[in-house]
Amino acid sequence: MKYGFLIDHRKCIGCHACTVACKSEHNVPIGVNRTWVKYIERGTYPNSRRFFTVLRCNHCEDAPCVKICPVGALFNREDGIVDFNQERCIGCKSCTLACPYDSIYINPETDTAAKCNFCAHRIDVGLNPACVNICPEQAILAGDIEDPQSKISKTIGREQVQARKVEKGTIPKLFYINGDAASLNPMAAPPARQYQQTEQAGGVGHYAKYNEKRSDSESCSVPVLDGAGESQKLLGGGSKRTHDAPSKGILWGWELPAYLWTKAIAAGVFVITALASLFSLSEVSASVSWFSATSALGFVVLTSIALVKDLDKPSRFLYIFLRPQYSSWLTRGGLIIASFGFFITLWMAGSYLQIPLVQTVALWGSVIAGGFLAIYTAFLLAQAKGIDFWQSSLLPIHMAVQSALAGSSFFLVSSYFIELNPEFFDLVKSIFGLSVIANLAILLAEITMAHPTSDAKLTVKMITGKKFGFAFFAGVILLGNLVPAGILWQAPAALLSVALPVAGVLALAGFYLSEHIWIKAPQLVARS
């Protein structure tokens, strides 16, 4: 048994009865929707036409939201319905970005994820979903698509149907008859800041609490629109979106770039010291080793704080360990962070008690855990299937390079305050130089390589264009990479004691700015 929806756009009149019935059935707050109707207009008067498209959760057979949820708050039922348990949800918002259909929102009243759940409580007692009952044109069918005798199965069998974003491999179970291409492809008709019938909020769900603080002129600003002009150029225009649900805003805000920055420094700082000791790459004094360990542990704590701060339900943070769902890289990441902190603490205990075996085991453990700490977020971002730009095979390599850059930069900055023996300092400078070159190469590769989807191409256009272009080229490329590299290789020897810490500061600032752009820009592309 697999329940699915079929929406017949030959019958749909865009009356919003399904939206209203859904809101009434589930007490859905204003500003967010489990099902909504998008209007698309094509042509010019009098030769124009309006198309209506009903959008909602696709109840995917291979649901990305289920895989990425760290606590199993989203789950596949045996009948194929993708349901959720708001009592388990920690408000991490990873499911909202994993969904290619933009169907999940953060409930502004409960701070937990929610979406269409096929009216599972009605299905369980033999009733149809509320939207099916209310539709005046019977444009919505729901039922078991695997039952050859069901009406929905028969209709799918004899009609030509479409589904959205099947290339994502999610196996969606929401089908359309006469689905309009411009309606089903969000890039074909970008969202608008203001429609004839409605004005859009500047962010609902996760950012709803900030709307009250905005002025009237700001309240109509939809973040997703920053790429609208570029997408029209990319696709040639021709269709206009005239009504839609409000934007959900930027779901992963400043906390994620901050957490990527702090964990890269934590991993880089101690792994450099550990490798230098294990492979005799240079002499590492006891004071530098302890400084490295305490600094790394401090940044692990900051990473944990940023991670908890990003949760809409921070009081449920421990659910990641108490109710884990191990296919999620958010759960795996929590375990990796804890493991890295454990091995650093173990090394400190072994060093204090002067037990060489414990020190060696701890160093090897920290290298392995630190390596995973540096790159695991690349796999978390890859699980966010709704964001095409993050589906890059270069991302794990890039994050490893960034960790080496962050760790060596931190040592350069620290050299102004603490004494590093010359041999170790030379090792740090070599790592810094190589990682700057590698980081530049990967950054340029990411923006010049051929991207397979229009969403990813639009993201690159935003990064290099008006929206982020100055920050990227002046802040990230020039001040964050080229200038530090120039200082390393061209600064007079007499000025190195001051110049190299400055190079480290610039590199760390450029690294944070690049993470800010890499996280924010892709979220500005419309997914529905």
pLDDT band at 471 (very low <50, low <70, confident <90, very high): very high
* 370 pLDDT above the threshold of 50: yes
- Average of pLDDT values for 494-508? 94
Which of 38-42, 273-277, 474-478, 515-519 has the lowest average pLDDT? 38-42
Q: Is the pLDDT reported for residue 258 higher than 50?
A: yes
Percent of the chain with pLDDT over 70: 92
pLDDT mean over 477-481: 97
Percent of the chain with pLDDT over 90: 79
What per-residue confidence (pLDDT) applies to 206? 54
Residue 227: is its pLDDT beyond 80? no
The answer to pTM > 0.85 is yes
Q: How far apart are CA 117 and CA 57, in angstroms?
A: 8
Q: State how far the alpha carbon of 429 is from the alpha carbons of 292, 296, 496, in Å.
A: 16, 19, 11
Beta strand 140-144 with 3-8: parallel, antiparallel or unpaired? antiparallel
330 contact partners, CB below 8 Å, separation of at least 6? 68, 70, 92, 94, 320, 380
**pLDDT tens-digit series, residues 5-64:** 999 999 999 999 999 999 999 999 988 899 999 999 888 888 888 899 999 999 999 999
The alpha carbon torsion through 129, 132, 135, 140 (nearest 10 deg) reads 140
Mean pLDDT of the chain: 90
Give strand pairing partners of 161: 177
> Does the pLDDT at position 83 exceed 80?
yes
Residue 41 corresponds to which amino acid?
Answer: E
Q: In the structure encoding, which two tokens stand for residue 328, read together?
A: 């999620």
> Which position has the higher pLDDT, 469 or 246?
469
CA dihedral 59, 62, 67, 71 (to 10 degrees): 40
Q: Which residue has the tokens 């350069």?
A: 412
* 283-332: pLDDT as tens digits: 999 999 999 999 999 999 999 999 999 999 999 999 999 999 999 999 99
**Of 153, 159, 152, the residue nearest 179 (C-alpha):** 159
Check pLDDT > 50 for residue 105: yes
**Residue 431's Cα: distance from chain center in Å?**
29
- H-run or E-run covering 322: helix 319-322
Between 249 and 456, the higher pLDDT residue: 456
Residues facing residue 426 across a β-bridge = none
Instruction: Identify the pLDDT of residue 191.
Output: 81
User: What does the H/E/C string look like for 249-305?
Assistant: CCCCCCHHHHHHHHHHHHHHHHHHHHHHHHCCCCCCCHHHHHHHHHHHHHHHHHHHH
User: Is it the case that residue 385 has pLDDT exceeding 90?
Assistant: yes
- pLDDT > 50? residue 436: yes
For the chain, which residues make up each domain, given as ranges? 3-189, 255-523
pLDDT at residue 212 is higher than 50:
no
pLDDT band at 221; cut points 50, 70, 90: very low
| DSSP for residue 193 | S
> What is the greatest pairwise CA distance in the chain?
86
Whether the pLDDT of residue 464 is over 80: the answer is: yes
Comparing 209 with 426, the larger pLDDT belongs to 426
Please compute the mean of the pLDDT values over residues 261-265 and round it to a whole number: 98
- State yes or no: pLDDT of 196 exceeds 80: no
Partner residues linked to 35 by β-bridges: 56
DSSP H or E stretch at residue 380: helix 356-383
| Of 275, 267, 289, 2, residue with least CA distance to 146 | 2
Q: Cβ neighbours of residue 486 under 8 Å, at least 6 residues apart? A: none
Question: What's residue 475's pLDDT?
Answer: 97
Radius of gyration of the chain from its Cα atoms, rounded to whole angstroms: 26
Integer Cα distance of 310 and 254 in angstroms? 9
Query: At 197, is the pLDDT very low, low, confident or very high (cuts 50, 70, 90)?
Result: low
Architecture of domain 255-523: Up-down Bundle (1.20)
Whether 231 shows a pLDDT value over 80: the answer reads no
- HSE-CB at 216 with a 13 A cutoff on CA atoms is 0
Instruction: For residue 228, give every residue at least 6 positions away whose Cβ sits within 8 Å of its Cβ, in sequence order, or none.
Output: 190, 191, 192
Average pLDDT over residues 192-197: 70
- Is pLDDT of 245 > 90? no
pLDDT at 233: 42
Amino acid at 452: P
Residue 334 has pLDDT above 90, yes or no: yes
What confidence tens digit (pLDDT) does each residue in 169-179 have? 999 999 999 98
The answer for residues whose C-beta is within 8 angstroms of residue 113's C-beta and 6 or more apart is: 73, 74, 84, 86, 89, 91, 93, 95, 96, 104, 105, 106, 107
To 10 degrees, what angle do helices 255-278 and 422-448 make?
140
Question: Which pLDDT does position 203 carry in this prediction?
Answer: 55
* Interatomic CA distance for residues 330 and 307, integer angstroms: 10
pLDDT at 194 over 90: no
Can you tell me the mean pLDDT for 397-421? 96
Which tokens is 382 given? 């890859």
CA distance 386 to 1: 27
* CATH number among 3.50.50.60, 2.30.29.30, 3.40.50.970, 3.30.70.20, domain 3-189: 3.30.70.20
Torsion angle defined by CA atoms of residues 168, 173, 175 and 181, in that order, rounded to the nearest 10 degrees: -20
